[in-house]
Amino acid sequence: MSRHQAIEQTLAIFDDGRFQQTLARRVAFRTESQDSASGPILHAYLDDEITPKLEALGFTCRVIDNPEPGKSPFLLAERIEPEAAFTLLTYGHGDVVRGYDAQWRAGLNPWEIVVEGNRWYGRGTADNKGQHTINLTALEQVLAVRNGRLGYNVKIILEMGEEAGSPGLNEVCALHSELLAADLFIASDGPRVSASRATMFLGSRGVFNFDLHLKLREGGHHSGNWGGLLRNPGIRLAHAIASLVDAKGKILVPGLLPKELPESVRFALKDIEVGGDVNDPEIDLDWGEPGLSAAERVIGWNSLEVLAFTTGNPAMPVHAIPAEARAHCHMRYVVGSDPTQFLKHIRAHLDAHGFDDVELRGTDVHMAATRLDPDDAWVRWGLASIERSTGKPPALLPNLGGSLPNDVFSETLGLPTLWVPHSYPACSQHAPNEHILADVTRESLHIMAGLFWDLAEEGPAVFKART
């Protein structure tokens, strides 16, 4: 019984094709949580696919309805050992964004795994079916080698609505806080900092969405008769946006910025390189907050993005001045920002710059910014375990540049949170042609088997020293 044996058995699952078969079966579930008709499929993924697997490993499972009517279900599972030293909580989501079937490249199907060299294509391979399948596979093999005894309890929450904003997740965790009570959280979502470098992150940037709308009149008017006489809402709204963020991406509203870039975050990011992988977009070095490195801009600072902008009829433009324009925007923000005041600051800024005619609306899409102390004992342990498995120091990100519902685990449940992602930045997550890399997947199985093993061997001492 050894760490090496557990890792070798886990890798054998990948090498002989069993991992691919399991993931292909899960990808085939069309679990599009943004489609209101997907309810039976979301339930089937939990009832028919995940629950039997977990029960075979000794878990007690419950599928519960969402406290928000009509929203997606949750799976709560626990595996309790007598005299366990502590409890681990892990998480994943079985839902995916829409397949966009017609937009995938010829020869690909979002609901089937297609292997082309190092790439495995399929919706959910990267986000998040591939990632929680890696973790459950590694846990299964560690259990097998350790004869069914880990020395710690394992609890799981699997949601089916993350891609729809995780409705009900916080409420479920609050309602079932005793059932989900734990001492440590380890899960996987999002990308590594690069395909070649294993990564751990400790939280995430928050996300705050808002809409800008300007309606000036009823219906369009011929530009030959009225051009030069009627205000154009597209032009007006473009200038309103330009008052919020300049032509190089610098936010111009002080109230939308964090208080500072902490020295601990700057230190953690000093050796982090962003981009550079094959198929990564080329970074615009002059974009964003001046004076910050690329890693600091995307991980340690706030950004304001325009996600969609429409005026008139882009598909069939006519020679008419449109009546209205709309923009859907959002903030990615870090700890030290105050999202409760974002709308107030935007409204005041627009009014002060003469755009009091632009309507501002918040949306219900909001995730909080979180960050665990990089010097936490669990962080040091996790980094050492990953380095032991890979032979290389992993990247440590104080928080992910993207957004996850980490506040549910760090704030509502009060847990130290370690995220070990298994995809990479150019995985086409949320886009057509989503994929994972075979070599990264195999290494991730190695890492997670090592983590679960080391948690059994070293976790009790870390837990005791930390508490």
Question: Taking all residues of the chain, what is their mean pLDDT, rounded to a whole number?
Answer: 96
Q: At residue 338, does pLDDT exceed 80?
A: yes
Q: What is the structure's pLDDT at 466?
A: 92
Q: How many angstroms separate the CA atoms of 328 and 306, rounded? A: 6
Determine if the peptide bond prior to 118 is cis (ω within 30°).
no
Contact call for residues 206 and 332 (beta carbons, < 8 A): yes
pLDDT digits (tens, 9 = 90+) for 352-372: 999 999 999 999 878 899 999
Res. 452 pLDDT band, cuts 50 70 90: very high
pLDDT at 230 over 80: yes
Q: What percent of the chain shows pLDDT beyond 90?
A: 92
Percentage of the chain with pLDDT > 70? 100
| Predicted local confidence at residue 264, as pLDDT | 86
Domains of the chain: 3-204+369-466 (3.40.630.10), 206-258+302-367 (3.30.70.360)
Confidence band of 280 (pLDDT split at 50, 70, 90): confident
Among the listed residues 272, 200, 207, the one whose alpha carbon sits nearest the alpha carbon of residue 416: 200
Residue 278 has pLDDT above 90, yes or no: no
| Per-residue pLDDT reduced to its tens digit, 158-212 | 999 999 989 999 999 999 999 999 999 999 999 999 999 999 999 999 999 999 9
The model's pTM is 0.87
436 band by pLDDT with thresholds 50, 70 and 90:
very high
pLDDT band at 402 (very low <50, low <70, confident <90, very high): confident
37 has a pLDDT exceeding 90: yes
**pLDDT band at residue 281 under the 50/70/90 scheme:** confident
pLDDT, tens digit, 9 for 90 and up, residues 137-168: 999 999 999 999 999 999 999 999 999 989 99
For residue 154, CA distances in Å to 106, 151, 194 come to 42, 10, 29
Give residue 35's pLDDT band: very low, low, confident or very high (50, 70, 90).
very high
pLDDT of residue 369: 95
